[in-house]
Structures are given as structure tokens and as C-alpha cells.
Structure 1
Amino acid sequence: METLRQTLSCPVCLELFTPPVLVLSCAHNFCKQCLEKILQHQNCHHINGFFHCPLCRKVIYLRGRGIVGLLRNSLVESILEKFKYELEKICTQEKRQSSQICEEHGENMNLMCLTDDEPICAICKLFGKHEDHNVAKVSEAYNARKKAFIKKLHLVHKKSEEARKETEKLTNELTADATDTKVMIDTVGMGLLKGIWYRMAELQSKLHHDYSTKLEKLQVISNEAKASGQLYQQMETLLEQHENSVQFLQEDKKFKEKIEKVLEGKGSYQDPPKHKISMQQYFEELIRGINIKDYLSTACEEMLSSTTDISDTRQSECPAFVFSDESPDHHFCKEVLQQFEKSSDIKQDNFENAGPPALQH
């Protein structure tokens, strides 16, 4: 292989030829980029110029085409390509074999130190630092660890899927809550007329911030779930593509901490209330300090019809409420919230399969 390497090496850069490989009339081969440097060094800048072969000193004429007129040695390039392939193949085999050799003693690592949790060779056990440690055969440890690894792989996948589904569900519920709450604010706000326009704007801004903040937290949780999914993919790749038992055991050790962290962790999605929006809270803030009888009474429709800057379509959305003398505020809150909560229940199914839309304000 070394002789072939020398044959396939450029006499200028002393490295393997870099295609295209050009052959001179004296039969010497050079990398094209190296030959360009030779021409520059010999002050040959004209397409009709000439230069000397750096090996045999023979005069080479360019004959009006410059370096483009020189022949390309396709045979050498073909051999070079096959040589590189075989060389890479040999390197891969040597790397695979060396990964199973003890660096300290140069022996095959056919034992597994259970105390230090690492593959070792027989000399390490007999005369080395693992002399008093418990050991097992690599093949036995490999089979046992592989089974445990597969079990943890399924657990991580289950954990990841559970977190993803719960996060998506909470995100959809949050979006539904925010959308329905916005509808409630708009509708009741129309019923309360111009006196609460400013308060409506404040609440919509607060709702938008509340929604954005909670959604951002849910997205963080979602990213954590994705990290669990990535760990699952890495574990699955190792399980399917590990080269040998020693390499698997070494990589299994690296995964332990990450796996335990995922399996023991408790996601924030397990506390759903903090990811939701309270319609009742926004409603109470909307009507705070307002005498309901003054705004929604038998004269409500007359007031709405005389207000020219409210569109007819928006007026039709505003319900007219009639109250008894008994606790009108409480009766109003209960009636309105029940109406919007029914609307929320009807729309909920539509949000189960939809992503979170942008909340307008």
C-alpha cells in the first residue's frame, strides 16, 4: 500500500493527486493546481509559452492552448479513486479493531468490570487496577445491557410522546380559552358602550401578554419534549448501528445520566391550571365598579340604536339582559359566563386538531 501511495502522490506537493491529474509529454503526472504553480514559478504566462518538467527538465510546449491543452490522466484518477476507497475501508476496519483493544495492555477487552462499569482485558483483572473488582464476560454484559437499554428506549419514547401530546393539548386549550375570552370581552364591552372602551383595550393588551407568556412557557415545555425525542432517536440509532459490544457498552454509559434525567423529570405540563386563562377573572375586571342597571337595562336597545359609531353587525352580537331586583350583578355575571362557557365547549373540538393561531388585539 505504501508503494502504491508513493506512485499516486504528486512529486510537487508530495500528497495524493488532487484531480484533475495532468500528464506531460515526458509521462510525468502532476496535480493541475501544482502545475499552475510551476508555470508561475518559471514565468510561463503565455498560451504559447513553454516550461521545464520539474523532474526530468524536459521542455514542454503549451502550443497555443495553455495548460488546458495538456492531457488529463483518467487512468491515474480512476486508480486514485479506488485506492482512496480501499484506504478508507482499511482505516475503518483498523478503527473498529482498535476500539476493542485495551490501550494499556494491548489485549482484547473481553471482560466487563462491574465495579467501574467499563470493558477491560484479562491482564487488567489479573494484574491491573481491576484485580479486586467484580467482572463478567463482555458478551454477557452486552446482552444484559442491551435488553435494559431497549426497555429504557421504550420508556423514553413513551415519556416523550406523553409530554408532546399533553403540551399540544394544553396549547390548544390555552388558545381556545384566549379566543373565547377575547370574544367575551368584545361582546360585553359593546354592551357597556363607550364608557369601558379604554378598559377593554387594557384588558385585551393584558390578555395578549398573558396568552403570549403562557404560550411561550408551553413552547419551552414543548422544546423539552423535543429534546426527549432527540434522545430517543440517539438511543435508537445506537441500538441499531453500534459496531460492536464494547462500543455499545461505552456509549451506554454516556447515555445513563441523560436517560435518568428524562425518566425522573416531572414536566410543567402536569400542572394544567397555570397554563390556562381565567375568563371569570377578566370578566370581573371588565365590569369592576360598574352599575349594571345603568348600562344594561330596558333602555339598552335604545342606547345602542342611537350610537352611530358602533356597526350594526357588532350591535347584533351584544345581548340585551333584563334583571330582577335580586342581586343584578351576580345574576348578570352568572348568565353571561354561562353563555360564553357554552360557546367555549362547542368550539373546543375545533381546537384539538389545530395549532395556536396568532391572538389579535
Structure 2
Amino acid sequence: MTTLLNVTLTPDQRSLLTTIAQPWIETGEWPLWANVQHEFDMRGQDADAVFHSLPRVGNEAPFASGYGYTIPMRAPIDPGHKVRLTVAGASRLPKGRMATGEPFMHTLRHMIDLYISRPILADEVPSIILRSGELTTALPNLEPWFVKALPDLLSYEPAISTGGANLGDGSWEREVTRSVMQFRGMHTVEEYIEKTCEIVVANAAQYAPVFVEEETMTAEPSRGPYVDVDLMAELETAAATTRWKVHKLIALCEGLNDAYIAGNPYACAAMLRAILDHIPPVFEHTDFKHVAAQHVFSMKRNDKTHAQRLAAFKDIADDVMHRAIGHTVPRIRMDDLPEPIRLNAVLNEVLVMLPKTAPPTA
């Protein structure tokens, strides 16, 4: 499949898109997966099976080489995670096209205008920033909820995803890069979706299996990020309000995700150890083994088990970090890493604790 246009959706698939879109259109908030599951359970249907049957183009990972009607979520989907539609998914619904697709295209054309009008400087490349306040002035017909939710929507459009910040007063900033020029001259959401599919399929080709001297090289199964994308977004949101400085934690998680997708077990182990050394103060402890042994987790039995397994892994990570070169070859494989669900559970608990504790005074 090379495009998401003109795909015939089953009634169940269309119902799933509607269930996800409705609370977002009404409130600007994406639903928890548990609530979507419950609605389908009441009908005797399997929401997870329907979700994973939705069409996609390109690969699951890396991010820029895949695109679908929803953001990718690996099975089993955590009931506490939010599920989101992309512009392509929202635009398959009449109400979603009106509430999301058309406002998005107005915004995209405004971003293109901002980039085109950027100043030309001799000794530097200026940063072009889209700001929520300026956007509402430039496009006064945009609904306030859409403006508030726009950064989240932009984060999962792979051809134009860029960095930005949510400010403490509810406003936000988003960088505009040259990537928007790929959509210059386009006026309809169908043109945008078609072009995005073209871009991600081209990117996915970079990760296709290669053939060397008549021997077929078997590509490893693609891996998604180690730290869940929803969880990363929640950490970034927390950075704007918590007294804890979570910027390093976010950077470590991004490094872990990059190493995990690249299949580098040594870098993964080092990053994982760094994260476990970094977070204990949020739990009012100085060592992660104390966290695993003494902290009362929100999900008491399950999450405590995850924390204890991670604490045990620190010995392997220490070996990776500190064993000196010698006569033997130390080996660690991707399979030796803890399952991602364990760190995601502990980082979810970090989010719970951030408002409850305070950084120690200097």
C-alpha cells in the first residue's frame, strides 16, 4: 500500500475512528484506550484487533518512515495511554474533516508563508517560530480548542514534526522548518495526505532489506521506541509546570529510544542505567534499589515487580559501563534488555510523583 486515500474502511474501523475522534473534537483531549476498549466491549467487539487492522504505509519505525490513521501503538496497548488520530485519520470522518482537516490546511499554509517570509541573514539561519497567540491573530476563525490541541497534532505528522515548547500560561511555540515547503501550493487535505504518504514510503525504502552477492540479507523486525511516545509527550508537558527539571530525563529517554531503534544494546544499557540513576530523588530516595524496595507504587504489585526487575538489571548495566577491556569478549544482546513495559511503568509513576514531591533545597 502506497497511499491512505481511497481505502475502503470496514464499519468497525470507521466506528473506531469515530470513537477516538469524538472526545477530541468536543474537548480537545484524546481518549484513554481503556475508555475506547470499554465502548467496544459493550458491543462484544475487540477494539485492539480493530486498531491493529487499520491500514498504514511505510514502516512502524523509525517515526519518519511510517504513517497511518492513528499514531502507532504496540500490542498490547496500555489501557492508561491516550490514543490519537493523525490528520489522515480525522479527515476520514465528515465531522473530523471539518473540525481538523480544513483548519490544519489553513495552519499549514500559514506556516509556509512564515517560512517563505523569513529574513535572509549573512551569517546565521534564523529560527522561524509559530506562536499560538500570533496564530489566532493571523487566523481568527480557528476554534480555540483546535489552537490549544495543534502542537499535539503536529507532533505526530511525520513529514513536518518539529520541536517546540508548551509555555506555563497555556500558550505554545512551535518551530517551522524547511520541511513545510514540501507542501507548497497544496490546498486540500487530500493533497497533504497523498504527499505525506509519498514521503514516508520513500523514507521507508531506506530500511528495506538489501541483497549482497546473491545472498538475501534478512532484515530484523522493526522496533518502535523503548519509551512510549505518549509518555514522552506527558513528560514534555510536565516540564512546563513541575518544579523538577525533567529536561535531562527527556533527553536520556530520547537517547534510549534512538539506541533501541538502531539495535545498539550497549548504548541502550548505558542509557537505561543513567535513567535509573537519575530518577530516585523524585521518589525521595538516593538509589533506585531503594525505590524498588520501599516505594509504594500506584499499581502496587505489578509496578513494584517492574521496578525490582529494573533494579536487578543495574548489575548488567554496571558491567557494560565499567568492565575494562581484557582477554574475553563481553557480550550483551538486545534480548538481554528489560522489556520496555517495565521502564514505562516506572516513568508513569514518576509522572504521578512529580506534583507530590519537591526537589531538595541546595
Q: Same fold (TM over 0.5)?
A: no
Larger Cα-atom Rg: 1
TM-score between the two structures when normalised by the length of structure 1: 0.18
More helix by share: 1
